[in-house]
Amino acid sequence: MATYRVLVSDPISEIGVAALNAHPDISADFKTGLPPEELISIIGEYDALVVRSQTKVTAEVFAAAKKLRAVGRAGVGVDNIDRAAATDHGVIVMNTPTGNTISTAEHAFTLMLSTARNIAPAHAEVLAGNFKAARKAYQGIELNGKRLAVLGMGRIGSEFAKRAQAFNMKVVAYDPFLTQSRADELKVELAESPDIALNGADVVTLHVPLTDDTKHILNEARLASMNPGAIVVNCARGGLIDEPALKAAIESGHIAGCGLDVFEEEPPPADHILFGLNKHVAFTPHLGASTNEAQENVGIQVAEQIRDFLATGEIRNAINMPSLDAAALAEVGPYLDLAGSLGKLLAKLGPENPDSLRVSYHGPLAKKDTGLVSRKALTALLSARRSDGQVNIVNAPAVAQSMGLDLTESTISAQTEFNELLVAELRKGDQRFRVAGTIIGKSPRIVEIDRLFVDTNIKGEFLIVKNDDRPGIVGAVGTLLGSAQQNIANLSLARNKSDGNALTVIEVDSPLSAELMDSIRSTPGVLSATGVSL
C-alpha cells in the first residue's frame, strides 16, 4: 500500500497524474466534479490535494483534512483556496506560476485584437446572414500608436507588454513592485498609481491578482479617465472590474467595448449584465490557460512539486511559507536537523513564556537560503512546549504570534571560532539563553550551551548537568548512571571560570527515569540536572 495518497479533484494533464502514480510511495485518485460535501467527507484520507480553479478549498475542507500536508494548484491564482485556513491547519499551498504565462498573455492579446476589430459580434452577424449590415456596423480601431495601460507588470503583464510593443503601442505600467530600472529594461513608462496609468489610456489590460486591495481596481472614475473609445481587457480575475460601472461606461459610449475571459461570478449567469450589450465585446469562458502547452506544463509541474514534497520534503513555489528547492535543501538540510535539536534544547533549558526567539547565522551560512531553518527551530521549540501536537513548520509563525512570541533573524558574515555557526537564543526581558551548533565534516554538532563550549551529537538521549566546578561531582553522577545500568555514550565538559560552575553533557543510551533524575539532582554540588530527548 502506498505511503501517501493524493486526490486530484480538477482535470489536470494525464501526464501529471501518471507522474504521481509512477512514484512507488504515492497513489493518486482522480475524482473531479465532487460536490463540496463529498470532498469534505473524503478529504481526511489524503496527504495532498491537487486542484485547478473549480474546486473550492474552503476552511471546512481544511478542518476535515486531518492528514493533509499540501494543496497544489495547477495554475497561478489561488483565490479558490482559503490560504489563511491552510496556514492555520499547517498545510502548504503551492502554485505553478510560470506554466501558463505565455498562453494567458496570448489569450489576453487575442481579446484585445478581437475587441478592437469586433471579431466576435461580426462573426455572429455573418452566421446570421447579415454580412452587408455587419460591414457597416463594425468599424474597428487600429492599435498602432495607441496608449496601453498595463495594471500588474508581473509575468503575464510583461509578456503582454512585449507583444504590444511589437504592435507599436505606447505602454504605461502600474505595479507597486515595478522598479524604474525594470521599467527601463522593459521599455515601458512607469506610472506611480493606477489613476496615472489609466488617465488618457486607449486600452487597459489587467494582470494583477485578486485581493482586497485590487477588488474593483477598474472602477467608474478610472474608466471615465480613459480616452473616449477605449477598450478594456481582463484575463486575470473578474472581481478586478466593477461590472455595473463597465456596463454603464459602454452604454454611454465612453468605453467602446471589452474583451473578458473572467467574470466576478463564474460561471456567470445567462442574464449577466454585460451579455445584453449589443456592442464591441468578446467573451471567453476563463480560457486563458487552456492550451495544450499550458495544461501540460502546469499539470506536470504541480504533480512534480507535490511528489517531491511528499517524497523528499523539497518545497517549490509555496505561497504560504518559504520555498526550498533541491539544491538549497542539499545545502541547508543538515542545518534544518540542527535547528530542530536547538529548538528542543531551548524548550527544555530556556526561560518559560519567552518574548522572542532570535536565530542568527554566522560566517558563510549567513549567505545561504536559510528561510526555513529559523522556522524549524521555532517549530521544534513550540512543539516541545505544547501538548496539542498542532504545530508544524507551516503554522509555527502564526502560532508563535498568537502566543506573543516574536521570531527574529540576523545574519552576521564575520566568522566565529567555527567557520559557520547557527545560534538560537530565547529571550525574556533581560534574560537570554542561547545554544549553538555547526556542521563538522558532514555532521551537525551542538557546540555551545549557555555560552559554554560543548561538543555533542544532535540526536539521542542526554543528561545536562550544571554543577560546582570541583573534583568528584561528575564521578558521582557517573556512578549513579552506572548503578542504574545507564551506559555513557559520550561526555562533554565545559567550565565557566568566572562563576566557578561547570556544565556536563552526557549522552546515554535510553531516557532517564524520574527516580534517577531525582538522585542526580540531590547529589552534592549538582546545581541542576535536565534530561533531554533530541
Ligand X SMILES: O=C(O)CC[C@@H](O)C(=O)O
Ligand Y SMILES: NC(=O)c1ccc[n+]([C@@H]2O[C@H](COP(=O)([O-])OP(=O)(O)OC[C@H]3O[C@@H](n4cnc5c(N)ncnc54)[C@H](O)[C@@H]3O)[C@@H](O)[C@H]2O)c1
Q: Which residues bind ligand Y (CB under 6 A)?
A: 75-77, 97, 100-101, 104, 151-157, 174-177, 207-209, 213-214, 235-237, 261-262, 286, 288-289
Q: From ligand Y, ligand X, none, which one binds at residue 101 (CB under 5 to 8 Å depending on kind)?
A: ligand Y
Of 237 and 344, nearer to ligand Y (C-beta) is 237
In the complex, what is the shortest distance from the CB of residue 96 to ligand Y, in angstroms, rounded to a whole number? 10
- The per-residue DSSP string of 22-57 comes to TSTTEEEEE--S--HHHHHHHGGG-SEEEE-SSS-B
Q: From ligand Y, ligand X, none, which one binds at residue 175 (CB under 5 to 8 Å depending on kind)?
A: ligand Y
Q: From ligand X, ligand Y, none, which one binds at residue 155 (CB under 5 to 8 Å depending on kind)?
A: ligand Y
In the complex, what is the shortest distance from the CB of residue 302 to ligand X, in angstroms, rounded to a whole number? 10
- Phi, psi dihedral angles at 273 (to 5 degrees): -60, -25
- Let me know if 54 is exposed, middle or buried by CB neighbors in 10 A (0-12, 13-18, 19+): middle
Of 235 and 365, nearer to ligand Y (C-beta) is 235
CA–CA dist 361, 423 (Å, integer): 7
Q: From ligand Y, ligand X, none, which one binds at residue 52 (CB under 5 to 8 Å depending on kind)?
A: ligand X
CA–CA dist 40, 57 (Å, integer): 9
- Let me know if 333 is exposed, middle or buried by CB neighbors in 10 A (0-12, 13-18, 19+): middle
Site residues (vs ligand X, CB under 6 A): 52-53, 75-77, 100, 286, 288-290
Collapse the DSSP code of 467 into the 3-class scheme (helix H, G, I; strand E, B; otherwise coil) and give the result. Answer: strand
In the complex, what is the shortest distance from the CB of residue 89 to ligand X, in angstroms, rounded to a whole number? 23
Of 192 and 213, nearer to ligand X (C-beta) is 213
Of 215 and 254, nearer to ligand Y (C-beta) is 215
Instruction: Give the number of C-alpha atoms closer than 13 A to the C-alpha of residue 157, restricted to the C-beta side.
Output: 25
Q: Say how many C-beta atoms besides its own lie within 10 A of residue 360's C-beta.
A: 19
Q: From ligand Y, ligand X, none, which one binds at residue 240 (CB under 5 to 8 Å depending on kind)?
A: none
Active site residues: 237, 266, 286
Within 239-368, residue ranges assigned H as helices are 243-251, 292-312, 326-349
C-alpha closest to that of 177 among 157, 159, 202, 163:
157
In the complex, what is the shortest distance from the CB of residue 52 to ligand X, in angstroms, rounded to a whole number? 4
Of 76 and 112, nearer to ligand X (C-beta) is 76
Q: What pairs with residue 410 in β-bridges?
A: 360
In the complex, what is the shortest distance from the CB of residue 101 to ligand Y, in angstroms, rounded to a whole number? 5
